[in-house]
Structure 1
Amino acid sequence: MATYTPHCEFCSEEEKSLAAIRFCLDCEEALCKQCVEYHQKCKATKSHYLMDLAAIVKSKIPTRKKFCEIHEDVSLDFYCTHQDTVCCRVYIPSKHQSCKDVLPLEVASELIKTSSLFEHTFSEWQNIGKTLDHLINDRKNNVNELEKSEPLICEEVDNLKTYLIKQINTLVKKIKTDISSCKKKNINQLRKDISEISEVYDNVKERGQELEFLKDHGSNNQLYLKLREQGKGVQDVVPNSCA
């Protein structure tokens, strides 16, 4: 996730300390008033999405993969419909020369916020979140039932003990020990389940928040790339977390 900073990062590189007022989601940098104005005038950055820093303090900003893994200084600005992949301009002549439709990313992601891809992915995360929430509550209820059952069982054992001869006292103590051990073992396992499910739940909730945030505040490029990044994540979470 991007980190909030109160100072302009561009000016800081020139050993200047100016207060930042906006955050560029494309560059992932905080900008002062002067840099914001330059950002909006420069041809290469005027289409970038700038966000008020006050909103960033309350929100989580998803980072995105924006540079090619091979050509690290070249941004991913194109989408090949034939190979279903995002690529940089350097790859087009060598890898996509025979492909019919290689679109600018802005064109490919133009309607992403209202697309079925967004709706399906976001819905999947929500459904997984509900299932995980149900599992967590179920495990908590089991813990509560076990906590309540122990004193009741022990009371029954004590009542039984008063009607039995002294020779069975050893057996009574063993029953109590077994009950306590069984309860501890089960509670430990259930709490472990709760911890593991909660971790997955938090992850799923965060991914849903990322998508919701980008839909409301992010650029089409960011949301499109984040959806592609999360696509495989849905399939990985479903079978493991809902077992």
Structure 2
Amino acid sequence: MHIVIVEDHDALREMTATVLREKGYFVTDLAYAEDVDSILDGARIDIIVIDLNLPGEDGLSLTKRLRKAHPLVGIIMMTGRDTPKDMTVGYESGADIYLIKPLAPETLLSAIGSLQRRLHGRTQNQPITLSQSENQLNGPKGSVTLQEAETKLLTACMRAPNYELEYGQAANLLGMNDEEYNKKTLEVRVVRLRKKIKNAAGDKLDIRAVRLKGYKLTNSIEIF
């Protein structure tokens, strides 16, 4: 499970990251909301722990943006804002769990465990969807951001007979001109896309090579 911590207090961020890593979680710790964007392209994120009083973009703004773009991600707010109004605003912004600082590490670990179980139940029957406008692939494992060319390729596969495209068609959709095109280079591009698909859909979707022909999607995608 990949957990991202967004906290500008260096000592608290480092301590929290250490506690989570010792429990076996893969952790990315960031000091600014703007840094989150640098890890979203193709990366699987399961849970984000967000402080509200961040420099630059604040935690509420970040939460709203993430909830819209990544509806399946788990969001925990960890903040010193402790009034009922603050909590209401936090939940309305998209938080799954609202925790008030200071808190014991065991409290955060319990919240993460609870949210992990809820997310697992939430995604069991989650359809695989593709947003063409946002270049976003959503599935039972999470959400990933695609390149525009990758979105075009998946869309074309869905609309093709038997979900299959020829090598040349795939290369064209991935923006490769005649000079750039060769099967080895094309396969490298498809392998990158395959990793993103796995991060979003797990084993429910793949784009496989069809010998001497091209590529084929193994399942359907809802496109909007």
Say yes or no: TM over 0.5.
no
Computing the radius of gyration over CA atoms, which structure comes out larger, 1 or 2?
Answer: 1
Q: Which one scores higher on RCO, CA 8 angstroms, separation ≥ 6?
A: 1
Query: Quick check: which one's helix share is greater?
Result: 1
Q: What TM-score do you get using the length of structure 1 for normalisation? A: 0.27
